[in-house]
Structure 1
Amino acid sequence: MTDHGLDILNRPDLPAIVARWQREITPVELQAGYQAILAAADACGCCCWLLDLRRREELATPDVNRWVEQVFLPQLAHRYAAPVRIAFLISPLRAAQLADAPGAEAPTKATFHTHQQATFIDEAAAYAWLAG
């Protein structure tokens, strides 16, 4: 499925939902894309997601971050038989930018009450973490 600058694929062999942004997107497209990922995951009951951000270089705005934290992520709590695991795949350049941002703490792995997440620059490592 391609929409909102996003390709979403159900990979039952992994099992995971793989979502790849294909271009820079607007905040409205980001919100619609996250809802499309959730719908795809609901359709197959899949709690493991690989979100490929390597073609997106824009940084999220405070409004977008607030929407993700206050609206989107709360929807994930107890949604599936197992906790949602989200692997963010980013470029090495983006990883360096995040590491160098003043006052930024970009944890590689974190557990929240709604989900678990980790950030990777290697796709194979992301899939291994999702399977773990």
Structure 2
Amino acid sequence: MPDFGLEITPRPDLPAIVARWQREITAPELQAGYFAILAAADALGCWRWLLDLRRRDELATPELTVWMNTEFFPKLPGRYPVPVRIAFLISPLRAQQQQSVSSVAALSATARPGQGYLTALFTEEAAAYQWLGQ
């Protein structure tokens, strides 16, 4: 089974799915990885996701932003009993350098509970887990 440069770990103690990219990836690997996260979350009925982006570069392209907003995020509403909570974990340096141009920062800027998901951006894992637990 392809791993898309991604390690997905169920954390029933939180409960959450933790997905960590382990290397640089291509846009198709990113897309496949998001669907792998969705499949793992569906198998566990888990709507809390920590996506650790610290080991991969930003893949901000207009095409990927369109894909996220038209292909991936529309699959989330009604999938679970509450909106999916997605915590994006990035390095402090990346947060400082790329906040204005980051696709993750743009995705996390607006709450979207009516669209089936909430997102937030974090530089500390403990803070991300605390937010996921709300």
The two structures have a TM-score, normalised by structure 2, of 0.89
Give the alignment of 1:1-132 within 5 angstroms: 3-101=3-101, 106=106, 110-112=110-112, 113-132=115-134
Task: Give how far 1:99 is off.
Answer: 2.9
Contact 1:4-1:29 within 8 A present in 2 as well: yes
Task: Give how far 1:50 is off.
Answer: 0.1
Percent of aligned positions that are identical = 62
Alignment RMSD (CA, Å): 1.8
Q: Identify unmatched segments of 5+ residues in structure 1.
A: none
Q: Secondary structure at the match of 1:7?
A: strand
Q: Secondary structure at the match of 1:95?
A: helix
Q: Secondary structure at the match of 1:111?
A: coil
Q: Identify unmatched segments of 5+ residues in structure 2.
A: none
**Matches of 2:34 and 2:13, distance apart in 1:** 22
**Matches of 2:91 and 2:22, distance apart in 1:** 13
How many residues align structurally?
129
Q: Deviations over 1:40-62 (max 9, x none)?
A: 00001000000000001233211
> Which structure has the highest strand share of the two?
1
Change (3 A) 1:11 1:44: same
Contact 1:23-1:56 within 8 A present in 2 as well: yes
